[in-house]
Structure 1
């Protein structure tokens, strides 16, 4: 059993890597693998450093009773930096997830490449990116940004299916504020450069913005209830409620008499889908379009809609990208689409 430095993370207002895994998984379901892995670097005094589990905890657990692969980078160990063995551990976990046909969840809290290992660290990233590409369309890949992540630490999340960001904790950028200042002579905070609000509202990189870590893990668990856990899995119908008379009356009240009047398409979506089942994706980005998952007669469907409440529902670059990315994901896993159209045109 490893000796985890919980207090160091708690002092920053964050959970430790092992606490994050336990908060995400069903109780007592996580089983760690490759715990004894250690780096092989001998340069810059690294031969004298023992880095437990090489800074990343990897293994399998269960969420809502179904198997998932999970890794969590430990910022208290060498800053969560990725070396060759660290990268190989994550890559091997993803490979096993593909074989096991289960989703991969990465909890990222890393300063990027372990500089002492030089090119070997980049080799570790190469192994990781290769497995990210192999898993694309085979099993869902979910990334949680749980700390300051720079450089290579954001390349991998950037090519996964869903990204979760947490207020005042998550930061994603290619390079940090100090480098920006030295090259562009511009003062900018880490939060303004790559905080949760920037990526959920302006860049569209983050699919979900959460108020706290626990809120984030609850949303991940909820998302996994809507999506197939591997390509070809048939999602079984679950119990559902649908008050047809009440919703039929409500939808008539929502739609305006004049076509020039706006309304919130999400209210229409709630009238058509099962009660309280709509789970919106990217709610803060390109609000003139709506995408998400919902249940129809207990089965998952993808939802796409123009939203007259945002810019009149007009299609622009951001809303088109938002819709296209979501359609691509649903197509990869044979998730049926339900489309709500009310668009005045393109801009």
Structure 2
């Protein structure tokens, strides 16, 4: 029988020491230093000349100081042919690991564009797959810092399969943990579909680009001359396509914006968003609202001022601020608790709902529902945007996305009607008839199939035409219609609105209602999934 001391004795033999470290530790230290050094000095210089940070610096800038733990540092590709055997840079062009943001764990990866342009190969992909699997298992957000040219051509189908595995994991994690993509350089070809599958996409102006086919291919196939920035730059995706949720002028400010967004999101779909203390009283009266919103239902105003007056400390984070500006989607807090706000914007297109507004709001509603964020809907909508273009571009199908998103949502839902709430647009903006838990209205509310002028011209067309003074008769009938069917209490009398409130009490009423609804439990039908009109 061996004694413990006999077992331990061989371990006490001194190891060779070099400058205070074992030879093995020196070897490891040298290998790690080599892995951290740029594989291509020329590529590193070009990268920095564009004002871009390297992959590890990007991660360290994003995360809390000293919290990054990297895995796969020494991973190398095993491809042969096409010059691949001549270079085996450690890490294979991507840095992956985990760390913390404001003390909360996140998983993060960063393409290293200095290694084969950040293109994805088989080992590169396996590192990403492992990271996603860890994030899914641990229930923590995933942040991708994208700066790569797509699939690695030299690795052929192995690279394509790597992307396939990544896309499958994007979908598996969707609605389970928040996924954030940051576009810091090129994102082309199949590589764009991973960011497209995530919840939020940030782009840096001047360096971030996204497109399926680049300018050279476009020129070859269509004859169109276009630059990378014109084809898929940050401005294009922020204002025209809606692909970019947020845009920043530089990398460091972009990372600050990412940190801000994460402050509104839970770690996963089993948790609630983090609360924050606020000095803003829950019963504070919003006296400015009456001055912000004109009584004249045709006069424009900025719904963002309404939101700022209602929420804690006037602070909110608008999503897709530069796209589909006729509707507002924002994350904010009421009494320290996170809420998602959807509001028509009368300052743009009179606040009508069109195709882009429908899709923008639908995606936001579904994100909030997935991550347990209550919804507050501020309504001032004259209807859907009419026109041949909208009809031919499928406003019926695409507008139904917002309707579907609200009907499907099980989080607490509160509607507030400020002024106009006309036609199908009223229904779509989370009316009680499609499942809103509570509906409140201001005394300036007008809820009807359409405005009084249009309604009178249709309903009383023959009577107006037969009158001795058609204009006088029209004015009279318009007022009659307004008094009978658009009175501020009509909707409340019929039970479609729960209360007509003083605008100054909006904050207090919302906070009280959300506090009650915090205990809401909603049953959903047993099904594999619904069939949203995509």
TM-score with structure 2 setting the length: 0.64
Deviates more, 1:69-78 or 1:43-52: 43-52
Aligned mate of 1:38, from 68, 76, 89: 76
**What residue number does 2:359 align with?**
321
Output one character per residue of 1:124-177: Cα deviation in whole Å (capped at 9) or x when no partner: 101111111111111000000010110122111011000000110100000110
Instruction: Give the CA deviation at 1:277.
Output: 2.4
Aligned mate of 2:338, from 300, 325, 331: 300
- Tell me the SS of whatever aligns to 2:358: helix
Measure, in 2, the Cα distance between the counterparts of 1:72 and 1:211: 19
**What residue number does 1:237 align with?**
275
- Tell me the SS of whatever aligns to 2:201: strand
Aligned mate of 1:60, from 88, 98, 101: 98
**What residue number does 1:287 align with?**
325
Aligned mate of 1:79, from 94, 100, 117: 117
Measure, in 2, the Cα distance between the counterparts of 1:205 and 1:58: 25
Measure, in 2, the Cα distance between the counterparts of 1:309 and 1:213: 31
State whether residues 273 and 373 of structure 2, in contact with CA within 8 Å, keep that contact through their aligned partners in structure 1.
no
1:9 aligns with 2:43: no
Instruction: Give the CA deviation at 1:237.
Output: 2.9
**What residue number does 1:250 align with?**
288
Measure, in 1, the Cα distance between the counterparts of 2:187 and 2:264: 28
Instruction: Give the CA deviation at 1:245.
Output: 8.4
Measure, in 1, the Cα distance between the counterparts of 2:237 and 2:275: 34
The within-5 A match list for 1:204-223 is 204-223=242-261
The root-mean-square deviation of aligned C-alpha atoms, in Å, is 1.3
Pairs aligned (count): 347
The within-5 A match list for 1:105-254 is 105-242=143-280, 248-254=286-292
Measure, in 2, the Cα distance between the counterparts of 1:246 and 1:101: 37
Output one character per residue of 1:169-216: Cα deviation in whole Å (capped at 9) or x when no partner: 100000110010001111000000000000000000000011111110
- Tell me the SS of whatever aligns to 1:109: strand
Rg (Cα) greater in structure: 2
1:333 aligns with 2:371: yes
Higher helix share: 2
Measure, in 1, the Cα distance between the counterparts of 2:352 and 2:208: 31
Measure, in 1, the Cα distance between the counterparts of 2:274 and 2:55: 33
Pair 1:129–1:244, CA change in 2 (3 A): closer
Deviates more, 1:103-112 or 1:125-134: 125-134
State whether residues 30 and 60 of structure 1, in contact with CA within 8 Å, keep that contact through their aligned partners in structure 2.
yes
Pair 1:258–1:235, CA change in 2 (3 A): same
**What residue number does 2:86 align with?**
48
Instruction: Give the CA deviation at 1:250.
Output: 1.1
State whether residues 51 and 78 of structure 1, in contact with CA within 8 Å, keep that contact through their aligned partners in structure 2.
no
Measure, in 2, the Cα distance between the counterparts of 1:282 and 1:229: 22
- Tell me the SS of whatever aligns to 2:77: coil
Measure, in 2, the Cα distance between the counterparts of 1:247 and 1:269: 14
Measure, in 2, the Cα distance between the counterparts of 1:4 and 1:340: 53
State whether residues 272 and 371 of structure 2, in contact with CA within 8 Å, keep that contact through their aligned partners in structure 1.
no
Gap runs ≥5 in structure 2? 1-31, 39-43, 386-534
